[in-house]
Each structure stands twice: as structure tokens, then as C-alpha cells.
Amino acid sequence: SHPATLEARDSITDELLFSSFLVSLLSELDALYKETQHPYSLKLSEREKVFARHMEKFKGVRDLMRTGRFANFGQGGGLNNAYLMSVGLYHRHYALFETLLAQKGNSIKDLLLFFRDLSEDKGNVIDRSRDWLSAQNARKNGVSS
């Protein structure tokens, strides 16, 4: 295989690993923030424990990666909500984007048109993308929604 092909394959593999790791981290934080029984001060201290635990987990994830693309995750300023929101904006939904792209025949143009059409209606585009996929899967499996 061509070196560029191998690099692209490795990059996609790393993206899947990172996205899975990030979903785990962000899901744990979401659950913590939604917890109504804990005072804010406890949530802050628990958040720091979540950050530390996941940075430790990331070392194992990083060891599995084939490229250095995510090697600097959390370095420098450490983890904080603003940093995670910016990183999560794309990487959190990578598997969804890949699935949608496959549903659109791996056509970037068709996927962009799909998102354009979705964005014309009110509602969260990510949630509506998931709903669309569920409807597609139901149709494929012979179940009407």
C-alpha cells in the first residue's frame, strides 16, 4: 500500500480510539453535572478526579495509537471544560459522522447537502441526525416508525 494510504488508515484508527475515549470522559462529566444531590463544590472536586482518572486512561489509549495526532491531548493547560468543549465539538460525534457518510454512499457532497437540509428545520442537528439514522435502520429492518 501507498504510504499516504497507510497514514490515512492509521489516522482513522486513531480517530476512532480517541473519539471512544472522549465519549467516555464527556459522558462521565455530563452525569456528574446533572447530579442534583451534590453541592457545586463537591462537583468541582469530583470533576478534578474525573479529569485525573481519564488522563491516566488516556496514557493507555495513546499507547495504542499509530500516529502522534492526539499525543498532546491535555498537555500544557491540562483539562478544563472549555478545552473539552472545543475538542468534543467534532471528535465526540465522529462515529455518527462516519455512519452518516456511509449512509450517503461515502459522498461528502451528499452528506453536506443532508446537513444543510437538516439545519433548515429547528432542533439539534446531532439529535435529528440520530433520529434519521434510526428511521433508516427501522426501514431497512422492515419496521415502520
pLDDT band at 144, cuts 50/70/90? low
Whole-model pTM: value is 0.79
pLDDT band at 115, cuts 50/70/90? very high
- Does 68 share its domain with 22? yes
- Does 115 share its domain with 51? no
Residue 70's domain comprises 1-89
Residues 59-67 have a mean pLDDT of 97
Residues 22-38 have a mean pLDDT of 96
Residues of the chain above pLDDT 90, percent: 86
- Does 74 share its domain with 101? no
- Does 68 share its domain with 139? no
Residue 91 contacts residue 84 (beta carbons within 8 Å): no
Total number of domains in the chain: 2
**Cβ count within 10 A of residue 14:** 20
- Does 83 share its domain with 68? yes
What average pLDDT does the chain have? 93
State yes or no: pLDDT of 145 exceeds 60.
no
pLDDT band at 143, cuts 50/70/90? low
- Does 52 share its domain with 98? no
Owner of C-alpha cell 457518510: 101
State yes or no: pLDDT of 58 exceeds 70.
yes
Distance CA 99, CA 133 (A): 8
